[in-house]
Chains A and B, each alone.
Chain A
Amino acid sequence: MERIMTTDLPEFDRQVRLHRYITYGRERGHEERWLEYKSTMNWKDNATKGKIGKAIAAMSNIENGGVIAVGVNPQTYEPDGMASEDAASFDQDTMSEWLNDKLEPEAQFHVNHLWFEGKQFVVIEVQEFTDVPLICRRPLPGQLKEGAIYIRGKGKYESAQIATQSDMRDLIRLATDKALAKEIARLRKLGLIPLVEERPWVEHERMFEEEREGL
């Protein structure tokens, strides 16, 4: 399933995609590295803050980010829904404020509330980090560890502190690629890398159209 922030999509597409996140596990019988399910929980509880904070940090640190769907049983993948007060406790501003205190740099995420089969759900879409991986800067006793880098592992789909050489290598590569892309863009801007090899996309479009000869 292609992962893009649904905030960038037309409303119809957005709704379809969010609902697909809810039913994805039931159809396939598993989570994905980029998709984590949580049973109903309330943001006011510290345990919830810890679990969601860890999951958001972990999803931020993988390529293309990920999605956390709350209200879906992580064992059976059944969309059980959330208690109303639990769903209402997930508020974008409140969560951002708390998470920005715990994680650095800032996590980029979007909280969506939706109904499905008469039940409420919260779907949190998390963007991949922008420049450097997210790190936990303030602990939450028993939940988040200061200085820890969380990641959604490749071998075992869980949000946990980075523990394997392979996951660390991926994370470094991701950060390096971003830095490199930024540097190339800077050099291009300075005119140190010529743009001549690039043909504008409209030019390609025009050539394909000409090839079709009006068909």
Chain B
Amino acid sequence: MNYAGLLQEIKSRAYWRVEIRSTEYDSSRLPNRAAMTALLRAVVVSFRGWPYPYFEPNESRYNGKWLEGHINWEAYKEYWRLYESSQWLHYFAAHGVWLPKDKLFSGRSPKPPDHAGYIHVRDTLYTVTEVFRFAIGLAERGVLDPVAHLSISLCNTRDCMLYEDFERLFFYNYVSESDQPISQEWNVPASELRAVADEKALEMATKILSVFNWTPDEGQVRILADDQRKLLERKLFTS
């Protein structure tokens, strides 16, 4: 199966690109499909119903160098590769740019103005947090030693509007004018990743949001930190 078409579709609107690897290349870290499958089975995370990443062993394909997988279902569009060096590469669509506006803002009045897509504040935080938690799994299985490299980018965001379903909807000003990917990179000793991951995820998400002309103040950062905690404790849907 050729996934070029799916990748092209993902890249046609706002999308995420995630790269996780060690800083030291070693092609023998994951020598075969069994090793890759076992690793992914162990490290997939799921805090809110949809896993990161979407991994179905039977649907994935191995070519001797990497294992690859995909999903293309409604707003869920993903393509990933896990290489023999344990390098992880993942492209996936930002959800709010594939859902119809009426569905996205169902029950809301007035609706926001038309834009290329809509990026949800907390979905951004949750996504980055899930990526970090997935990275912790990789690190704790030794495949990122000695130093882990994480690169998270939100791309193709021009004219996308930030929104949030707090009482106050963000409507007019929080729109990306950037043609450049919003990229964050970080190197950290693999053994230290767990201790600092959630904090760093919050920091990275905050920086990503600032490109939409929204810089959360301390109070808002505290709310986001609280939401992140609820996500991790799987209490998102309880008060």
Contact = CB atoms under 8 A, between A and B. Distances in A.
B206 interface: yes
A1 B199 CA distance: 6
B23 to A, nearest CB: 6
A96 B203 CA distance: 32
B188 interface: yes
B196 A2 contact: yes
B140 to A, nearest CB: 18
A212 to B, nearest CB: 6
B199 A2 contact: yes
A178 B160 CA distance: 50
Interface centre among B7, B24, B83, B225 (most CB of A within 10 A): B24
A12 B210 CA distance: 10
A142 B24 CA distance: 52
A19 B218 contact: yes
Contacts of B21: 208
Given A27-B222, A204-B24, A204-B25, A20 B87 contact: no
A215 B7 CA distance: 10
Contact of A2 (B7, B25, B200): B200
A27 B87 contact: no
Given A2-B188, A215-B81, A208 B87 contact: yes
A204 B87 CA distance: 12
Contacts of A27: 222, 225
Contacts of A1: 196, 199
B196 A207 contact: no
Interface of A is mostly: helix
Interface in B199-217: 199-200, 203, 206-207, 210
A1 B198 CA distance: 9
Interface in B170-203: 188, 192, 196, 199-200, 203
A181 interface: no
A212 B87 contact: yes
Contacts of A207: 25, 85
Interface string A115-139: 0110000000000000000000000
Nearest to A212: B89
Contacts of B65: 211
Given A2-B199, A16-B206, A23 B222 contact: yes
Interface of B: 7, 21, 23-25, 27, 65-66, 81, 83-85, 87, 89, 188, 192, 196, 199-200, 203, 206-207, 210, 218, 221-222, 225
Given A1-B199, A16-B203, 13 more contacts: A1-B196, A2-B199, A13-B203, A16-B206, A23-B221, A23-B222, A117-B218, A199-B25, A208-B87, A211-B27, A211-B85, A211-B87, A215-B81
What 6 pairs between A and B have smallest CB-CB spacing?
Answer: A207-B25, A204-B25, A2-B196, A1-B199, A211-B83, A204-B24
23 contacts: A1-B199, A2-B188, A2-B192, A2-B196, A2-B199, A12-B210, A13-B203, A19-B221, A20-B199, A23-B221, A27-B222, A117-B218, A199-B24, A199-B25, A207-B85, A208-B21, A208-B85, A208-B87, A212-B81, A212-B87, A215-B7, A215-B81, A215-B89
